[in-house]
Structure 1
Amino acid sequence: MASLGATYRDKITGFEGVATGYVQYITGCNQVLLAPKSTDGTMKDSQWLDEQRLELDEFSPIVKLDNGSNPGFERAPPRR
């Protein structure tokens, strides 16, 4: 199983990003959501890729977030 926060590279396309999501299907086609790093300050689209296509970048640091004081989405839900 892929480790969230680790950087992976797609063996086929070379797409690279930090694993920010993981989904496990009953069929065994597990996927990892990779969020690419931005070089110009703009948000790049994340991509879901089959787990078996990925190789770990062992030299990139693991991204860790402190969710202790505010877990979940950063904004309050809308009020009606």
Structure 2
Amino acid sequence: MIKLGAFASDRISTFAGVVTGKATYITGCDQYLLIPKNGEKEGRWFDEQRLEVDPNVAVIEIDNSNGNGADLAAPIK
């Protein structure tokens, strides 16, 4: 399992970024969303086994104790 906030890169494409999301599927596949630090590219999802975590980059910790962390309220229908 990869910790959210870690810096990781894809072994195949070398795409790299901060892990900001995780999806677990009923089929057993886990995917992680990488957001690049440079901001020039959109985030991309990768299978867990393709990712390599860089142990030299500190994990980003976000304190959400003052709220739920959402930028906007959920839409009301």
Letter of the 2:18 counterpart: V
Q: Which runs of 5 or more residues in structure 1 are unaligned?
A: none
Judged with a 3 Å threshold, the aligned counterparts in structure 2 of structure 1 residues 29 and 76 are, in CA distance, closer, same or farther, namely closer
Q: 1:59 to 1:69 in 2, by over 3 A?
A: same
In the alignment, which residue of structure 1 is the partner of 2:68? Answer: 71
Superposed displacement of residue 47, structure 1 = 0.4
Larger radius of gyration: 1
Q: CA RMSD in A?
A: 1.9
**What are the within-5 Å matches in structure 2 for residues 15-34 of structure 1?**
15-34=15-34
The residue number in structure 2 matching 1:47 is 44
Distance (Å, rounded) in 1 between the aligned partners of 2:46 and 2:76: 35
Structure 2: distance between partners of 1:14 and 1:43: 15
What TM-score do you get using the length of structure 1 for normalisation? 0.83
> Number of paired residues?
77
Q: What are the ranges of 5 or more consecutive residues in structure 2 without an aligned counterpart?
A: none
Which deviations, in whole Å up to 9, do the C-alpha atoms of 1:4-50 show, x marking residues without a partner? 00011100000001110111111122100011102xxx453110001
Q: State how far apart, in whole Å, the 2-side matches of 1:29 and 1:75 are.
A: 29
1:43-78 deviations in Å (ceiling 9; x for gaps): 531100011000110101110111111223123456
